[in-house]
A and B are shown apart, each in its own frame.
Chain A
Amino acid sequence: MTHAKTTPTSRAAAPFLDMRKAAVFLVRYGMFIALALWMLAMSLTSEHFLTSTNLLNVARQAAPIVIIGVGMTFVMATAGIDLSVGSLVALVSVLTAAWLVAGLPPLLVIAMVILVGVMLGALNGAIITLGVPAFVVTLAALTSFRGVGFVISEGRAVPISDPIFAFIGRGDVLGINTPLIIAAVVVVVGWFVLNRTRFGLYALATGGREEAARVMGLAITKIKIAVYAITGGLAALAGVVISARLSNGSPNAGMMLELEVIAAVVLGGTSLFGGRATIAGTVVGALLINFVRNGLNLHGVNPYWVQVVTGVILVLAVLMNTVLNRRAEAWARANPEDDREVRK
């Protein structure tokens, strides 16, 4: 029940409360603001930035990060992490090319590689629920998935020339690139599942306080396995998109992609410690990383510096996500009246 507090103390504190609200707002939506400011600055300083070609191009580059990022948002909602997604992209890339070369129909190949992704993700999740830290399990998967990719391909990239893959990687519907459409569908479905279904709520509850979720009877083990399986499936989908865009299956695909995905999710405001997750934030995080890179490229900045800048942004984002966020929220709720027990 909402009841207004109209005591003299709260009236006197009103401007102070507004400042608090502003601080919380800044910390919570800082990345949205940062993205808007960056895009404004780039539009003013580079004539090539604000063109539909450039914007669509950046969005298409961000698409695989967004696709996997949606899955990673669920994983991080449960207070987990999945470092294996980039290597899974490589394995899927290799398998896709190999199975197409073997003459399998392209749609069957897509279904098969996504199934592989789901199963490998579920395997990660199953081992994690045995009590091995997610960091260790998925780090091991990071090396082994790509390793299997190298074994199968013997280190060679295999060209993909199938028309369906050409459409997925480079085609468009009404002028919008196919990867962008796939990412948009994943985002909408992901947002819906996270915010409107039991599964999303249970993922957040698991990450927020696992023991509470357990005693309330939530199936923690199934939820954890499911979030890694979903992320595996989405990583495989991103692998298909990336292979299709590059027109080849390569064990070198998706190198360091896991870090970009995790950076995007954290930049967006999803908590590293679980319980708080946002799909919209993940999209903004992915766009921010890509637009920063794009803007610096347009200004002719040495690409090696771009990597450095990306790293600095990530650290700042984590700082905002953890320390500042906690302080701002604690500050916002430090209302002495809340603790006063009034009894009549």
Chain B
Amino acid sequence: MSAPMLEMRGISKTFGAVTALSNVSLRLEAGSVLGLIGDNAAGKSTLMKILAGALRPDSGEILLDGAPVNFAHPIAARDAGIEMIYQDFALVPELTVTQNIFLGREITRSIAGLRVLDRSTMNARSEEMFAALGLRVPAVTLPVQALSGGQQQAVAIARATGFAARLVIMDEPTANLGAPAIARVRETITRLKNAGVAVIIISHRLEDIFAVGDRFMVMKQGHLVGDRNVDDTDNADLVEMIVTGVDARAARDPVADPT
């Protein structure tokens, strides 16, 4: 069997005396959509920040296509095609749409040996991104703080999907959004999946994952509790795992391989 696109093995992370993650492993195939669910402080965001290079694990390893990778830095993860859409979008309000999209990977040109920001190329590229995504903002040269919440989300989506992403992580993508914006997020996820991009969704809203996802993973207090296919589970089953932290099926049938 060929190696999965992404594998995280035995990831552990502590913050002082608090164990945020304890020996968590995860596998993900290209073009699959995984819902990562669990109560607050279950370790979902920490696990994803490690994957996105924003945090470093104490132990464990990450493999892409079977090859170990080491993300010392969010830029390293982004260069490997792993993008994250943060719950607050992680946009700088004073910077323009284009500046936010290219933040950390600006296009520069050389003038007399000086590296100068190539603003016109970046503006043109970000307009192309929005056109390709079917998303709209009033102008790519406007500061992000002049945009509505839905438009800011469009900027975050464009940034995460506009650079040949292989895996997009979404942290609570539908929290605090109206129905049209939620539909747009689901559309984006489906489009990414069809393009062979893997998606991990951290969400409290199970219905989003039932709608567009393939698999659930349930976490509680830094441990991986259970793993379900979308068509093989229901709300009650998942909620029970989230609350009790016990996989009832595995407990009933200990011989069964949970993967």
Contact = CB atoms under 8 A, between A and B. Distances in A.
Interface of A: 1-3, 196-198, 201, 204-205, 207-209, 211-218, 271, 275-276, 329, 332-333, 338-339, 341, 343
A198 B92 CA distance: 15
A212 B117 contact: no
B122 to A, nearest CB: 11
A275 B54 contact: no
A338 B151 contact: yes
B150 A339 contact: yes
B77 to A, nearest CB: 8
B137 A205 contact: no
Contacts, number: 98
A198 B150 contact: no
Given A2-B138, A204-B94, 17 more contacts: A1-B131, A198-B108, A201-B103, A201-B106, A205-B103, A208-B92, A208-B95, A209-B93, A213-B92, A213-B103, A215-B52, A216-B74, A217-B53, A217-B78, A338-B151, A339-B149, A343-B180
Contacts of B103: 201, 205, 212-213, 216, 218
Interface residues of B, number: 47
A218 B93 CA distance: 16
A51 B148 CA distance: 51
A1 B130 contact: yes
Contact of B116 (A196, A212, A333): A196
Contacts of B93: 208-209, 275
A316 to B, nearest CB: 23
Residue among A207, A329, A338 with most chain B CB within 10 A:
A338
B150 A341 contact: yes
Nearest to B76: A217
A49 to B, nearest CB: 37
A215 B86 contact: yes
B54 A215 contact: yes
A33 B99 CA distance: 29
B116 A204 contact: no
Contact of B91 (A201, A209, A333): A209
B95 A217 contact: no
Nearest to A205: B92
A217 B178 contact: no
A147 B223 CA distance: 56
Contact of A339 (B84, B106, B137, B148): B148
B127 interface: yes
Residue among A205, A275, A341 with most chain B CB within 10 A:
A341
Contact of B104 (A196, A218, A276): A218
Contacts of B95: 201, 204-205, 208, 275
B146 interface: yes
A320 B74 CA distance: 38
6 contacts: A209-B90, A212-B91, A217-B53, A217-B76, A338-B151, A341-B180
B247 to A, nearest CB: 32
B117 A275 contact: no
A209 B184 CA distance: 26
Interface in B107-155: 108, 114-117, 127, 130-131, 136-140, 145-151
The 3 closest A-B pairs by CB, nearest first: A275-B94, A217-B74, A217-B75
Contacts of A329: 145-146
A137 B107 CA distance: 36
B124 to A, nearest CB: 11
Contact of B139 (A2, A197, A204, A215): A2
